[in-house]
């Protein structure tokens, strides 16, 4: 079976054509600068080939067409024609409380996702445009929506309710939703496999630490608590996002600097996090390099990020009344041995200890626990595309 996985951003579109059963990736790539000019990077993992093209992409429809042309091209294609694509799986960020699992896309589903646009104004419109663009080019191919929020719909009310007047929840849907669900789901299942134990028996804390970061408590395979909230701005400090702050800061900054609410929200979304504190970069590689050269603010940004992640791991464990394993994934979690070590440094009292030699690894599934640890610490590269492809295949097969 060949499934095309599509992840649409406001000016970008990532794709991967893969077999969900053998996990073979036939081709993958990225359309960038949609609506500006247009650039396609197309890769074929089997032979390591990489192609780059400048293609006019005034809208996502041209981007999807460019992907189709690349996939079916005589020179660098991997399929003869589009009929070889059995189904398309779309990543969608926000499904509100409507969908707790992946679904076949129908007009009713698109209508429901449009209703969620106020909850994710930056992400959902692009996701919907991506679905429509695909439907236009492939009108007869089944499409499936896989939602970042779906995995967290198992959170109990005590975890998802905010302490504000209840009618803002009932009337305006203001509650904690959580994101990165596909990643937390994937790494928790791989963790159970690595530990050789049924997921139903395990209490796992998964740490998705990348440009966006979140921690999730997974009890018996279900998300019961996560650090992101109503939007992906909540929780841990991130590359450019502030994470959880005292909301009074918003009003104070507006008054002190005569800023509009849009300007303050822009600061909190795009100029805060480790970028804001370090003044160096949103990328941890740059910040680690600056810290190594003695930059005090870069060091502070790292210390702050690790400290808050440490506290989140402990509080996620408290939410479950225990912990069997902690998992590190995504760009930072998979690559930075230093940050992993710093994050768990203070968690020895909970039985979380890592072996420095085993921790000296990147990007490969590894049990990095110390011999005397009572909680396993695992490094597991995430694979959201695989979950999307497998969910899509399952729904198309009617399983």
Footprint on this chain of ligand AMP (rule: CB under 6 A): 210-211, 239, 283-285, 288, 330-332, 335-336
Buried b / exposed e along 123-135 (16+ C-beta atoms within 10 A): bbebbbbbbebbb
Q: How far is the CB of 22 from ligand AMP (least distance, A)?
A: 25
Nearer to ligand AMP by C-beta: 312 or 340?
340
Nearer to ligand AMP by C-beta: 30 or 103?
30
Q: How far is the CB of 207 from ligand AMP (least distance, A)?
A: 12
φ, ψ at 254 (rounded to 5°) = -60, -45
Is 148 catalytic? The answer is yes
Nearer to ligand AMP by C-beta: 128 or 332?
332
- Spatial separation of the C-alpha atoms in residues 242 and 236, rounded to whole Å: 8
Q: Please tell me the total number of residues recorded for the chain in this structure.
A: 399
Nearer to ligand AMP by C-beta: 224 or 277?
277
Alpha-helix residue ranges (DSSP H) falling in 38-106: 60-72
Q: How far is the CB of 272 from ligand AMP (least distance, A)?
A: 15
Q: How far is the CB of 80 from ligand AMP (least distance, A)?
A: 33
34 touches 59 (CB < 8 A): yes
Q: How far is the CB of 183 from ligand AMP (least distance, A)?
A: 9
The set of residues, in sequence order, having a beta carbon less than 8 Å from that of 285 and lying 6+ positions away, is: none
The set of residues, in sequence order, having a beta carbon less than 8 Å from that of 85 and lying 6+ positions away, is: 2, 3, 4, 17, 71, 79, 138, 141
Helix axes 337-344, 284-292, angle to 10 degrees: 80
- Spatial separation of the C-alpha atoms in residues 8 and 125, rounded to whole Å: 9
Q: How far is the CB of 336 from ligand AMP (least distance, A)?
A: 4
Which of 148, 219, 234, 324 is the catalytic position? 148
Nearer to ligand AMP by C-beta: 89 or 331?
331
Structure tokens at 29: 């790539």
- Spatial separation of the C-alpha atoms in residues 150 and 178, rounded to whole Å: 9
Nearer to ligand AMP by C-beta: 161 or 341?
341
Residue whose C-beta lies closest to ligand AMP:
331
Residues forming beta bridges with residue 225, ordered by sequence position: 217
The set of residues, in sequence order, having a beta carbon less than 8 Å from that of 138 and lying 6+ positions away, is: 68, 82, 85, 88
Residue with tokens 């993958």: 28
Residues serving a catalytic function are: 148
């Amino acid at each position: 079976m060949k499934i095309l996985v599509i992840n649409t951003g406001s000016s970008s579109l990532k794709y991967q054509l893969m077999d969900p059963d053998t996990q073979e990736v036939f081709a993958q790539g990225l359309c960038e600068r949609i609506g500006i000019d247009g650039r396609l990077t197309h890769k074929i993992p089997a032979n390591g080939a990489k192609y780059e093209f400048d293609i006019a992409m005034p809208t996502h429809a041209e981007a999807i067409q460019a992907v189709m042309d690349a996939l079916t091209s005589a020179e660098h294609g991997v399929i003869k024609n589009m009929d070889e694509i059995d189904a398309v799986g779309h990543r969608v960020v926000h499904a509100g409380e409507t969908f707790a699992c992946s679904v076949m896309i129908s007009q009713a589903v698109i209508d429901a996702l449009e209703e969620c646009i106020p909850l994710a104004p930056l992400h959902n419109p692009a996701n919907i445009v991506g679905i429509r663009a695909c439907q236009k080019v492939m009108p007869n191919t089944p499409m499936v929506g896989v939602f970042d929020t779906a995995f967290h719909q198992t959170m109990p009310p005590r975890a998802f309710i905010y302490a504000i007047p209840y009618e803002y929840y009932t009337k305006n849907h203001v509650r904690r939703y959580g994101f990165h669900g596909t990643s937390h789901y994937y790494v928790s299942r791989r963790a159970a496999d690595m530990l050789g134990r049924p997921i139903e028996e395990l209490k796992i804390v998964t740490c998705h630490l990348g440009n966006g970061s979140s921690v999730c408590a997974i009890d018996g395979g279900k998300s019961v608590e996560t650090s992101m909230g109503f939007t992906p701005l909540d929780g841990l400090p991130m590359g450019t996002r502030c994470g959880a702050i005292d909301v009074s800061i918003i009003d104070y900054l507006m008054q002190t600097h005569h800023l509009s609410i849009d300007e303050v929200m822009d600061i909190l979304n795009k100029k805060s996090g480790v970028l804001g504190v370090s003044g160096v970069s949103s990328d941890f590689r740059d910040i680690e390099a600056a810290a190594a050269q003695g930059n005090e603010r870069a060091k502070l940004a790292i210390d702050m990020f690790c400290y808050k992640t440490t506290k989140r791991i402990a509080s996620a464990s408290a939410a479950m009344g225990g912990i069997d394993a902690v998992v590190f994934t995504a760009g930072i979690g998979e690559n930075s041995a230093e940050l992993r070590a710093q994050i768990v440094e203070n968690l020895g009292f909970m039985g979380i200890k890592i072996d420095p030699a085993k921790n000296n690894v990147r990007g490969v599934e590894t049990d990095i626990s110390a011999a005397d640890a009572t909680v396993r610490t695992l490094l597991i590269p995430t694979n959201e595309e695989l979950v999307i492809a497998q969910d899509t295949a399952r729904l198309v097969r009617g399983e």
